[in-house]
Structure 1
Amino acid sequence: MTKITTDKLAQLLAAARATPLVENPAHAEEAVFKALLDATVYAHVPLENAPEGRMRFIQFVRPDNKQTVLPFFSDREQAGVASANRVAIVAMSGRRLFELTRGATLMLNPNIDQVALYPPEIVALLEGRPLGSYTQETLVDCEQVGVCPPAEPTDELVLALRDLFQGEATVRAAYLAEIHRGADSNDIFLLLTIVVPPAHKERLIHLISLTIQPVSSHLTLPLTVSCISPDASLPDLCNHGIQFYGT
């Protein structure tokens, strides 16, 4: 086991924040997650003592999606500023924190990085499995594209996603289409459209990135994910692809 210093963790975080300027953003993010296990991290606990043999952590409700998260910090200074002297601060390895807080959703550096780690991702980190990564893109509504059902094999992808969605009551439906865009229609990718309430969008995208890791090497086209609220109109693109989940 190699001890990760606070300075080294800060360097890795700085590289990840430079995304997409770095050459391999996925590698930069994965390096941070791996380093967290052997780095000293900091969390908030109540000032009063917990019952013997137990440790209680401070959590807060996110204003954007109303999810409860447990904040932790990559350095003592951030933890101190966020505590405002109203709570105590504990230090431990990231691995120990993850083991103690299994089942909780964690957030790294909530005032700077705001990186949420959901329970299945915590399990994956402890087991040494990659989390996967994604980038965000804003699509132009008026852009003209070609669309058709996937021409390349997607059976493994569909099966993995269907298994995931069957355990997610928030997912109403899911569609998959092959998109051709660009001047010569040579920019080709798979578009996964999910009908899900906005408050669950981030968590679902994280879980999709994690779930498709074992099958991603079999995909011949990049995958783009779009989330649609149940009360919004379904994009016409979906009608030209396939619906593989929901009714």
Structure 2
Amino acid sequence: MSTVSERELEYRFEQAMQSYTNESSFFACLIRAMVYAYVPVSDDSKRVRLIQFRHPDGYEAIPFFTSAQRAARSSFNGLRTIRLPCSTLFEQTRGATMMVNPNDGGAVLFPEEVATLLDSGTLETFEKVSLKEGPVDIRPAASAPDNLMRALDGNVPLPPFIRDIYLLEKRTLDGASSRPSLLIYAGVEAHQMERGARHLVSVVQALDPRPADVVDVAVFDIAQAKPNFLDEIGAIPVFASGD
């Protein structure tokens, strides 16, 4: 596997910041690049210990950087910067949440996304969607790929913060003849809603074969009242944690 230059990685990062459609190219470069991380200046441990910071959303994450300049700009007393292959960083921190270029708006990578990146060599484009964007007709899915159904009904381990999953289909009302897209609609604990959505995206991306149709993911706060439209359309969850 050839190593990506820092210059190319920086270019790909800037492109990804301009449009989410460039994110896959950035991640494909990232996993083959050298990156920078923080360790304590003084550390008696025989193992390398990386610095973690608390994300504004409340979880701990390990920051890392695509260039020495970005790392130096964010550093402060008591830390020193090390340079290592991104793949090594990810392998040695499996299970951790990562932040790339956190002071420049870079992505948060949850543990399941890090695992996907290590296994597949990239992450596919992740676009946030909202059920409120334009008039749509939503119904329980009339049909869905068998492997998607198996993945969502408990055959693929799901984290405990994903509590309910509905498999729906949606069609825009301004194009009634268009083919409907599948919608995974999940009830997730409030403090893990983005991670829950992105975990389900990772589940879909790992399917073999992949669904031929578009699959969108949306989430709602499981602690709040269930959205009324689910009862109105007679939706039944394909997965329920039973808690």
Q: Is the 8 A contact 1:171 1:196 kept in 2?
A: yes
Q: Are the structure 2 counterparts of residues 206 and 140 from structure 1 closer, same or farther at C-alpha, using a change threshold of 3 Å?
A: closer
What is the match of residue 200 of structure 1?
Answer: 192
Unpaired segments ≥5 residues, structure 2? none
Q: Secondary structure at the match of 2:127?
A: coil
Equivalent runs, 1:27-42 vs 2, <5 Å: 28-42=22-36
Amino acid at match of 2:167: L
Tell me which of 201, 207, 220 is aligned to 1:209: 201
What's the offset of the Cα at 1:15?
Answer: 1.8
What's the offset of the Cα at 1:49?
Answer: 2.5
2:83 is the alignment partner of 1:91: yes
What is the match of residue 183 of structure 2?
Answer: 191
Q: Secondary structure at the match of 2:3?
A: coil
Counterparts of 2:118 and 2:64 in 1: how far apart (Å)?
A: 17
What's the offset of the Cα at 1:93?
Answer: 1.3
Amino acid at match of 1:118: F
If the length of structure 2 is used for normalisation, what is the TM-score?
Answer: 0.86
Counterparts of 1:14 and 1:115 in 2: how far apart (Å)?
A: 12
Tell me which of 155, 168, 187 is aligned to 1:177: 168
What is the match of residue 71 of structure 1?
Answer: 63
What is the match of residue 2 of structure 1?
Answer: 2
Amino acid at match of 2:50: F
Counterparts of 2:210 and 2:118 in 1: how far apart (Å)?
A: 25
Counterparts of 1:110 and 1:148 in 2: how far apart (Å)?
A: 39
What is the match of residue 18 of structure 2?
Answer: 18
2:221 is the alignment partner of 1:229: yes
Tell me which of 39, 51, 59 is aligned to 2:52: 59
What's the offset of the Cα at 1:17?
Answer: 1.7
Q: Secondary structure at the match of 1:48?
A: coil
Q: Is the 8 A contact 1:191 1:226 kept in 2?
A: yes
2:32 is the alignment partner of 1:44: no
What's the offset of the Cα at 1:68?
Answer: 0.6
Counterparts of 2:30 and 2:155 in 1: how far apart (Å)?
A: 26
What's the offset of the Cα at 1:209?
Answer: 1.8
What is the match of residue 136 of structure 2?
Answer: 145
Unpaired segments ≥5 residues, structure 1? none
CA displacement, residues 113-149 of structure 1 (integer Å, 9 cap, x when unaligned): 33122223323333335433321234438x5533322
Amino acid at match of 2:116: A
What's the offset of the Cα at 1:208?
Answer: 1.5
Q: Is the 8 A contact 1:131 1:209 kept in 2?
A: no
Q: Secondary structure at the match of 2:61?
A: strand
Counterparts of 1:119 and 1:231 in 2: how far apart (Å)?
A: 24
2:94 is the alignment partner of 1:102: yes
Q: Are the structure 2 counterparts of residues 151 and 94 from structure 1 closer, same or farther at C-alpha, using a change threshold of 3 Å?
A: same
Tell me which of 110, 118, 134 is aligned to 1:126: 118
Q: Is the 8 A contact 1:194 1:227 kept in 2?
A: yes
Q: Secondary structure at the match of 1:111?
A: helix
CA displacement, residues 136-170 of structure 1 (integer Å, 9 cap, x when unaligned): 234438x5533322123333212112337753111
What's the offset of the Cα at 1:200?
Answer: 0.9
Q: Secondary structure at the match of 2:42?
A: coil
Counterparts of 1:204 and 1:110 in 2: how far apart (Å)?
A: 21
Counterparts of 1:51 and 1:11 in 2: how far apart (Å)?
A: 36
What's the offset of the Cα at 1:31?
Answer: 2.1
Q: Secondary structure at the match of 2:31?
A: helix
What's the offset of the Cα at 1:217?
Answer: 5.4
